[in-house]
Structure 1
């Protein structure tokens, strides 16, 4: 995944007016996962975390968590992760390498995306 310029609505807090980072946009365009720990790994590497900054394009409640239901393509039982305080920075560790389908819920909103974790 190459770095590219973030959507304008996801640039708050960056000093560069056109910050370029690896990111995945939700299928509905309502949330973006900015990958600070690129590439993501499963299991997690000891020297680097799977850090993701979640930015919501739509209004959110401050105390509402971001709930992530993740399914590995074609395998196993889904796993759930929760990011306290909704969209924001988090460490999202998933149990195996592969392409994960994420169903995201926050502040009454939903979106989906796919994230790849390397071994």
Structure 2
């Protein structure tokens, strides 16, 4: 997934986690210049977020779905594994690439099993 899309999805995820509900997400003014509409459309099209407009049509809301939460959590596991590998390498101890590939393949298998 494109980095900017993941960062956006992670921001929406963080809001849901902070408020302990998937009903909490981002509120975005229509005139916001940081918005990449294509990223929002992509995430919504994949079923990772839902979006809606305010009644006065001045802002819209983005909420994460269960599939979106799964994607973020799986990607965070990948990032954690990569960080640990870098730390191990920096310590002068090398870990076998085969071990990393096995772990990475298992995470991908879990994602595919969930239909992600």
User: What range is the shorter-chain TM-score in?
Assistant: under 0.3
**Structure with greater helix percent:** 2
TM-score under structure 2 length normalisation = 0.27
**Structure with greater strand percent:** 1
User: Bigger radius of gyration, 1 or 2?
Assistant: 2
